Amino acid sequence: MVPEVLGSLPLISHGGDDDNNNASFTQHKMDSEQLLTCPYNESHQIRRSRFPYHLVKCRKNHPKVANDIRVCPFNARHQIRKAEYKHHLLHCEDGKLAAEGGAQGAGEMSRPEA
């Protein structure tokens, strides 16, 4: 497997006929086994399914590196060096979804009147 650096999980359809469900399950299994490179220690290759847990642990273990890393406001799996942060914000796929209103939780945030 070729490791991917800080990607976002593709959407998987879980509806439809059995063939589509089997294909979705296989795709999900492949996605969860995909290796990602840790931004705190590049020798760490982590399965996508374990990546969020690893990030929390590794951030605590490498505080000097953590000072140079920013977390994307659109996807916490995206942890980027400060020098590349502005570029990431301009090109982040999750940020584009939020701007289009397609991200979960995007939209009106005011409280309804009683």
Q: Please list the rounded mean pLDDT of every run of 10 residues in the chain (114 residues).
A: 45 43 52 88 94 95 96 93 95 87 53 59
Neighbours of 21 (CB within 10 A): 13
Predicted pLDDT at 14 = 39
Predicted structure pTM score: 0.58
Six-digit token string for 8: 């976002």
Instruction: For residues 92 and 96, give the distance between their C-alpha atoms in angstroms, rounded to a whole number.
Output: 6
One-letter identity of residue 103: A
One-letter identity of residue 16: G
Instruction: For residues 106 and 100, give the distance between their C-alpha atoms in angstroms, rounded to a whole number.
Output: 9
- Which helix (H) or strand (E) segment holds residue 61: the answer is helix 51-61
Predicted pLDDT at 58 = 95
Predicted pLDDT at 60 = 96
Residue 87 falls in which region: left (phi positive, over 0), alpha (psi -120 to 50) or beta: alpha
Helices (H), the chain: 18-33, 51-61, 63-66, 82-91, 93-100
